[in-house]
Amino acid sequence: MPTLQSNKKGSSPHSLEARVRTTFATARTESAKLVEEVDAHINSAQTLLARMKEQRETNRSDLSVRLQADEEKIHVLCAAYSPLFDDVVHQRIQSVDTMKAIAHASDVETRKSRKRLMEKAKIRLDDARERHKLAMDASELVKHYKALVLAL
d(CA 97, CA 101): 6
2 Cβ neighbours under 8 A, 6+ residues apart: 23, 26
pLDDT in tens, 65-112: 898 999 999 888 878 877 777 778 788 889 989 988 888 888 888 888
Share of the chain above pLDDT 70, in %: 93
One-character DSSP codes across 47-67: HHHHHHHHHHHHHHHHHHHHH
